[in-house]
Copies of this chain bind each other. A is one copy, B any other.
């Protein structure tokens, strides 16, 4: 397999782009693809301070690496979720810390158990009905918003790749969740001064490409998946989408880009007046909330202290 650009030994074949690239040209290609994505969706500029949410995995560490190489101002945020199964959270943290140290880049660490009293598995366990992944999402969003606000960052960048986005898109489409379909995008704008803008600079890269990038850049990352995600539906959807991709290379990319284009061209009706959000201030943490005087995050911990 030869590199389309130089004829050298190719390390990756990307049929959806009709490209086979050697390690050097692949690194170059990834950087320019992410740069184009950042510009195309007006994610941020070189003067903005960006908080990169890192999990220790291939996507978020590749993202951080790419943003550093592109010259953006970044700091990392690692949230230790307190998942003790196979030492998952602590091992992941070590990878995040090692990356930060090697790149001399600032890394903020929030340890959920030390800060709030319990790790995610215990919290979800007493959360009565709330599933692990939704509790985990709620906690992460709260902490990301808090740190981004306290540190005055222009945006939070997450490592979501195209496979992540397209799995969510398939799920939202199979259930025709209009609200989610209308909102799903590479940039989630801020709806309140204390809630951060969120951007996904890797949203045009396939998962296998971010993995390949980490490998060729020699980035060490945690290879374990979250032990609670094994049966997650998104993993099943990813397998389904990979079958479609194998049959017709480019299906995943077209599904995602076609969706964004269709939205831009007005396929979905957005006439309904944007619901005016009524913001309250959480009496406990001070974050904005639309749900009474206690935000969903603080309610979760209250319930945990005073189970019904």
Q: Answer yes or no: A276 CB below 8 A from chain B CBs.
A: no
How many copies make up the complex?
Answer: 2
Looking at chain A, what size class is its interface with the partner chain? 20 to 34
Binds B, one of A9-17, A57-65, A210-218, A240-248: A240-248
Contacting pair A173 B175 (CB below 8 A): no
Shortest C-beta distance, A205 to chain B (Å), equals 20
Distance of A267 Cα from B265 Cα, bound (Å) = 14
Distance of A272 Cα from B181 Cα, bound (Å) = 20
Residues of chain B with a CB closer than 8 A to A267's CB: 176, 178, 181, 268-269
Binds B, one of A36-44, A137-145, A256-264: A256-264
Contact check: which of B247, B259, B268 meets A268 at CB < 8 Å? B268
Distance of A304 Cα from B61 Cα, bound (Å) = 60
Q: Answer yes or no: A236 CB below 8 A from chain B CBs.
A: yes
Contacting pair B240 A243 (CB below 8 A): yes
Shortest C-beta distance, A100 to chain B (Å), equals 39
Residues of chain B with a CB closer than 8 A to A181's CB: 267
Q: Answer yes or no: A281 CB below 8 A from chain B CBs.
A: no
Q: What 1/0 mask marks residues of chain A from 214 to 251 whose CB sits below 8 Å from any chain B CB?
A: 00000000000000000000001000100110010001
Residue pairs across A and B with Cβ atoms less than 8 A apart, 13 shown, are: A174-B251, A174-B254, A175-B254, A175-B258, A176-B261, A176-B262, A178-B267, A236-B247, A240-B244, A266-B271, A267-B269, A268-B268, A268-B269
* Chain A contacts to B: CB under 8 angstroms: 173-176, 178, 181, 236, 240, 243-244, 247, 251, 254-255, 258-259, 261-262, 265-272
Known interface pairs A174-B254, A174-B258, A178-B262; 18 further A-B residue pairs with C-beta atoms within 8 A, sorted by A's residue number: A173-B173, A174-B244, A174-B251, A174-B255, A175-B254, A175-B258, A176-B255, A176-B258, A176-B261, A176-B262, A178-B265, A240-B243, A240-B244, A266-B269, A266-B272, A267-B268, A268-B268, A269-B271
